[in-house]
Amino acid sequence: MPLFPYDRWRQHLSALASRYQGSAPFPHAHLVDFFDPEVAARAAAVFPATVSAEWVQYKHYNENKAGMTKRELFPPFIGSLVDELNSPAFLEWLSELTGIDGLLADSSLEGGGMHQSGPGGFLNVHADFTMHHHQKHWRRRVNVIVYLNREWDTRWGGAIELWDQQMSRCVVRVPPLFNHAVIFNTDETSYHGFPDPLTCPAGVSRRSLALYYYTLDEADDSIPRSTNYQSRPGDTSLHTALIWADKQAVHLYSKLKSALGLSDDFASRTLGAINERISGERKSRRQDRDA
């Protein structure tokens, strides 16, 4: 059995590509039954049920989730599935869908791989970092996110939101349902996220595979931009200010990460420590005020 159903999707690829490239608020597709049922079921069955010490904890003001980027630590079947989604055959299919030639797979899974978020997890609306942290001339172009949640109640939240470039409204919401995939272009204004904390029960998590694709752009002399978090209409002034402050910390450590070859694990621990200190200071000020 092929790990990705090329024949099935190629039957509709021309129509899909037309819809993808003309979609608002930016080019994207929501694909149901992305893998064949047997493949998706097997991947969901072996997806880790808990977060071990090897998982990176992305916990700071703008997000609360866990990720595993180390391919050698994946369950073997999920590793093979990720390899398929990084294969030349899939890159060819993805280029036809998106209309972007010369897509490159990232075997290091920088920021991608397996993701999961438990109760209270969230990811504020943002546009992704523009360049690979360890490949100087790789420009980020496409995200592929596949959800592996066997039983997800939409009342728990977790829908990925796609916002317009003015950050005035959410245009598309896609819940993280089993074997659904969201594919979209990434650029300076492709704002997306799941910003409201999950209300799923303890022991349940929002699980996904995330793969990011690049093009080689040696002539690009623009300044690489780190993840650009945004506030939403209706957010308080304090919340907006804290989103901005945390974004500056992410930008600083993103630059250090690129310059020094640091890992996601190091960067996330550092950002988490900074956020804990900020949170502690805010709590202390509130206690002093209430005393």
Q: What is the pLDDT of residues 222-246, one digit of tens each?
A: 667 889 999 999 999 999 999 999 9
Residue 262 neighbours by CB under 8 Å, 6+ apart: 253, 256
**Where do the H-state alpha helices sit in the chain?**
6-10, 13-21, 37-46, 76-85, 88-98, 237-260, 264-290
Q: Residue 57: name the closest of 73, 49, 69 by CA.
A: 69
pLDDT value of residue 130 = 87
What dihedral angle (degrees, nearest 10) is formed by the CA atoms of 121, 272, 255, 118? -20
Kindly report whether the global pTM for this prediction surpasses the value 0.85. yes
Alpha-carbon distance 79 to 101, whole Å?
26
Domain boundaries, the chain: 6-290
| Residue that is written with structure tokens 């900074």 in the block | 274
Residue 170 neighbours by CB under 8 Å, 6+ apart: 161, 162, 163
Beta bridge partners of 221: none
Helix (H, G, I), strand (E, B) or coil at 289: helix
pLDDT value of residue 250 = 85
pLDDT value of residue 222 = 63
What CATH number was assigned to the domain covering residues 6-290?
Answer: 2.60.120.620
What the block records as the tokens of 263 is 């890992």
Number of H helices, E strands in the chain: 7, 13
Q: Residue 149: name the closest of 113, 116, 184 by CA.
A: 116
Q: Residue 67: name the closest of 10, 25, 118, 112 by CA.
A: 112
E-strand ranges in 134-266 read 138-147, 160-163, 170-174, 181-185, 192-194, 206-216, 228-229
Give every residue of the chain whose pLDDT is below 50, as ranges.
none
pLDDT value of residue 17 = 98
